[in-house]
Chains A and B, each alone.
Chain A
Amino acid sequence: MNQVQAKFGGVMSEADEERFGAIYESTRPLITAYALRRTASREDTADVVADTYEIAWRKLDDIPGSPDDVLWLYVTARRVLSNHHRRHRRRDELATRIADGLGTIDRSEEPIDEDSLVALSCLRSLPEEDRELLMLTAWDGLSGADAGRALGCSPTAARIRLHRARARLNAEISRTKAPQKQGRAGGHEQVDRGDVSQPAPEEVVEK
């Protein structure tokens, strides 16, 4: 196999680089969109995308073939996101330029109508795993089964959890709207369940 010397002394093969390139080209819009939807700034997005593909490069042999490769990247990006907050990133020129490159994207900062505002607020108030399951299916376009795989549960368990997540969201919206009608502001404290790619035990139904 033809090998070339990497910049920092490591050895890589052209086949590795080609495979990584193919994965990168086919998935980077999806992973970038995924990160954009979940980060607070384009700079953070740039960090998450760079870290995700850096890990993908290092673990290239572990990435399954298409179409599961993108699921593998979603899983990795989610872990990067979970850890991103605690890492003290140091800005550099390339990362800043990546962020600038994302500047052309007109991201909707907030929905304009009240119902959407309430719905978004309630979505954010859901447990992280419920929220992620809903977003993976509704925003990132994954099927319920694939979203479940990305979150580490069986298709059956994913279907049950998705149903419950939707029910919780609707209940939360109803609960929020009711006090508002009475002149009260609905507030929610976020419940942090840590970095977990695992459903609650009672929701895991392996078939």
Chain B
Amino acid sequence: MKNDVDIGRLNPVENSQVEQAMADPVFDELRQAIVETPRDRSEAASDPTTHLRSPVRPIRRASIALAAVAAVMVLVVGLLAVGGNGSNGHTTVPNQAGHRLGGGSQATAANLKVGTWQILDASVKGIWQQNTSGPPTGYLTCPTASICYQMSGKYPSALAGAPLLSESLYASDDAGTTWTAYPMPSGFAPTSPISCGGPSSCAAGGTYGGGSVLVSTQDGGHSFAISPVPQNVGSFVTIDCTAINVCAGLAASRLYVAGHSDATFLSTADGGTTFTDTPIIPGDSMESLSCSSNLDCTAVGTSDAIGVEDGTAGVVARSTNGGRTWTPGSLPAGFGISQDSELSCADARHCSVTGNISIDVANPPQCSSLPAFARPTTTTTQPTMPSQAVQAIAQAESRIASAVNRNSATSGGGFSCNPSGSTTSGDIASTVDGGHTWTPDPLPSDIAQPNFTSISCPTASECWAAGSAAAANQAGTSHNEGGPILLGTTNGGSSWLPVRFTVPTNAPNYDGQSYLSFGFITCPSVDTCIANGATAQGSPTAPIYTLTQKGAKY
């Protein structure tokens, strides 16, 4: 063809460059770390598609990952700032005045148009509203019904190698309608979400100047304190602040290979001046934590004893004395915990957690043409035998997922092939006895293969879960094989109902990825929630979804 383009010259990376980088001994360490993990032959472990398969491609760029670049760049400055105050010292970083979004005072604000534009189905309670032009996606939390914070990284584009430009704390005092951006300390790279123990008191774990720190604010983002965490405990991976200056989280340092972590319970009652590090259950790799008070905390994860690589097995532990001692509970057999799992406890007795169950998905005829080596293989080891309740949910989910897979293949859309027929699907489990026993929750009959990214329970009976599912949707001119889902329950998980949104034709849709999945959801009080969309890296805006009680004004 006359105008054939030379694609090769667009190649951003030459192999020869990579070969030189391979001389770094860290790659030998990676090899060693991998071969030190057991070669578990469970279904989940040996079939990559069991946990890799995705009918959707929601881009959830973890800002914790990308912000690490900035941490390296400010190494020298950071060492001076953190190290100079000793191991428990604080460094306070005064901030400039925040930038109000929509006022044009900041680059990211220029294109933000705030205001709800569409009210759709409110299947559960209250009124859900959608705002297509919220701040860039990030970690979201609301300490009160009106005050919310979102910690977001800024990137110049979605292109490969795009650097993190800055990390900001976006604050809203009107339940997410308008936002003000406050820059966080330059070089701070979050490793945990942000959590608030009071309306203006929030904290997040991360790295700064090459060390693990807790960054906190007591004035809603106007200034930040940087507190080093003890050495050798790693960094906060989750955090839950139950009061001003009182925070607890999971801290881990070891590579998450094959689901293992060395997470311990790390807490502070003085805003980061001192920390207490406590092991949870030996042999367990905890993934998520929720504390309903400074005494009552629940953690979920995986366990070596029950098969750490079995995606349908999980463990739970509960503490009633602020993390000093832990008592194991029992998740439903066949209900698994993964890195994506999130736990939310409304009080000391009521919690809900997102996890995975094993389902069987029928292959469409097109799968027969796959070459043998490209297919996932069947294995002899079966995952954990599910409980009857889990089996019942799995059967329903299998029917739904199989129908969607077949229909999508027929229409030329995305589909998956799996000779074993087994894969995983998201589910929710709930407890009413403080985590000793859990019940798997049935999901709506029209939600195919959900993947939950976040859950929040403002009361013992009300919970909201957000994520994505294999449901085709149309966002402007982009056709997606999957889309965001939002489920709510008002009866403690006995039944969940979906809230449905449609996307207007002209909604901002950076890189065509703004409407593939929800990101975080947080519900500070009954019938009051805010959620964000997971967008492509570099998207200057992200959808914001708010649930407000009818007539509420902020």
Interface of A is mostly: helix
Give the residue of B34, B61, B374 whose beta carbon is less than 8 angstroms from that of A57: B34
Q: Is B7 a contact partner of A135 (Cβ separation < 8 A)? A: yes
Name the B residues within 8 Å of A141 (CB-CB). Answer: 15
Give the residues from 15 to 73 in chain A that come closer than 8 angstroms, CB to CB, to chain B: 16-17, 20-21, 24, 28-30, 32-33, 36-44, 47, 49-50, 53-55, 57-60, 62, 64, 68, 71-72
Which one of A10, A64, A92, A150 contacts B252 once the chains associate, using CB atoms below 8 Å?
A: A92
**Cβ of A85 to closest chain B Cβ, rounded Å:** 5
A182 at the interface (CB under 8 A from B): no
A179 is an interface residue with CB less than 8 A from chain B: no
Report if A143 contacts B (CB, 8 A).
no
Instruction: Tell me, in angstroms, the Cα distance from A109 to B53 when the chains sit together.
Output: 29
Q: Is B197 an interface residue (CB 8 A)?
A: no
Contact with B along A85-116 (1 / 0, CB 8 A): 11111111111111111111111111100011
Residues in A with CB closer than 8 Å to B237 are 90
Q: Which residues of A contact B69 (CB under 8 A)?
A: 41-43, 99
Of B179-187, B389-397, B511-519, the one touching chain A: B511-519
Given contacts A41-B69, A105-B13, A192-B513, contact A83 B371 (CB under 8 A): no
Do residues B4 and A170 form an inter-chain contact, with CB atoms below 8 A? yes
In the bound complex, CA of A97 to CA of B159 (Å): 22
Question: With the chains together, A86 CA to B51 CA distance in Å?
Answer: 11
- Residue ranges of A at the interface with B (Cβ–Cβ < 8 Å): 6-12, 16-17, 20-21, 24, 28-30, 32-33, 36-44, 47, 49-50, 53-55, 57-60, 62, 64, 68, 71-72, 75-76, 79-80, 82-83, 85-111, 115-116, 119-120, 123, 134-135, 138-139, 141, 149-154, 166-167, 169-170, 173-174, 189-198, 200-201, 204, 206
Q: List 30 contacting pairs A-B, 8 Å CB cutoff, sorted by A.
A: A7-B36, A8-B308, A10-B40, A29-B22, A40-B161, A43-B68, A50-B255, A58-B40, A58-B46, A58-B258, A79-B48, A79-B52, A82-B52, A85-B57, A85-B58, A86-B340, A88-B62, A88-B339, A95-B255, A101-B27, A106-B17, A109-B160, A134-B7, A139-B7, A149-B371, A154-B371, A189-B476, A190-B513, A195-B57, A204-B369
Q: B residues bordering A, Cβ < 8 Å? A: 1, 3-5, 7-15, 17-22, 24, 26-27, 29-31, 33-40, 45-46, 48-49, 51-62, 64-66, 68-69, 71-72, 155, 158-164, 189, 191, 207, 234-235, 237, 252-258, 260-261, 304, 308-309, 339-340, 366-367, 369-371, 373-374, 377, 408-409, 412-417, 451, 453, 468, 470, 476-482, 509, 511-513, 516-517, 537-538
| 4 closest cross-chain pairs (CB), A and B | A10-B38, A194-B414, A190-B512, A194-B481
Q: A79-B49, A119-B10 are in contact. List 12 more A-B contacts (CB 8 A).
A: A7-B36, A8-B260, A10-B39, A57-B39, A58-B39, A86-B60, A86-B340, A90-B252, A91-B191, A109-B162, A119-B7, A139-B7
